[in-house]
Amino acid sequence: MQNELASRFTSRSAFIDPTAVVAGPFHGRHMHGLKDGDYRSLKQSIREAGGNVAPVLVCTRSGDVLELVFGRRRLQACLELGLPLFSVESGNMAQAQAFEMMLREASHNWSVYEIGTSVHLALERALFPSTRRLGEACGMTLSNVQCALELARLPRAVVDAFDSPTSIDAATSRRLRKALEVDPARMVRRASELKPAQGLSARRVADLLCSN
């Protein structure tokens, strides 16, 4: 596996200007993930180290554009701190391959919603021929891919009822989907009446949305 991965990269690593890097088109990172406690801790560690110790992965696109494959929070921290970004450059990389590597890395710390957003977009743009093929390429079980997709496809009013969609876990997503099948109009109506500023936990919001 290590030899297979190594064959995908050039040996080029460098500190680069973070303002020259753009996020890939399938990145599902929610803004909440760039403001939460984990992000603040990461940013502090990067500040203390004088840069990101773990490199981000970038690839080149037409016009010598540097596109981020993974490392969105490291990129954001370096942008905010005004620090150079430690990166490994893979050269040109097919979009499907970049997506595969992004999602494999993301599976360790992205929320179900963030993964679902990326998967939904990849399937919508025919990056993979099927949900099953996407899961196989990215090291995800079909059930996990489908669960993430279901959450990403919830009505916008339902998602917006939560303080952040990243707080909705897989079990809550399944519960919401089942309740939607019974009476979708009622759930959307209830969701539109809730305000995230009320400070309700994700579990409490789900209770209010799914109760009879």
Q: What is the pLDDT of residues 93-135, one digit of tens each?
A: 899 999 999 999 888 888 999 999 999 999 999 999 999 999 9
Distance CA(31)–CA(19), nearest Å, equals 18
Distance CA(129)–CA(122), nearest Å, equals 10
Q: What is the pLDDT of residue 1?
A: 38
Domain ranges within the chain, ordered by starting residue: 1-93, 109-152, 154-212
Q: What is the pLDDT of residue 118?
A: 94
Q: What is the pLDDT of residue 193?
A: 87
Question: What pLDDT, in 10s, does the model give residues 14-44?
Answer: 899 999 999 988 988 888 778 888 899 999 9
2 falls in which pLDDT band (50, 70, 90)? very low
- Backbone dihedral angles phi then psi of residue 211, each to the nearest 5 degrees: -70, 150
Lowest mean pLDDT among 1-15, 51-65, 99-113, 162-176: 1-15
Pick the CATH number of 1-93 from 3.40.50.150, 3.20.20.140, 3.90.1530.10, 3.40.190.290: 3.90.1530.10
- Asked whether the predicted pLDDT for residue 6 surpasses 50, the reply is no
Torsion sign over Cα 31, 36, 38, 44: positive
Distance CA(70)–CA(114), nearest Å, equals 13
CA angle 15/18/22 to nearest 5° reads 125
Nearest Cα to Cα of residue 154 among 140, 132, 135, 174: 174
Single pTM value for the model: 0.83
Distance CA(68)–CA(92), nearest Å, equals 12
Nearest Cα to Cα of residue 73 among 116, 122, 108: 108
Specify whether the CB–CB gap between 153 and 120 falls below 8 A.
yes
Tell me the average pLDDT of the chain.
88
- Asked whether the predicted pLDDT for residue 53 surpasses 50, the reply is yes
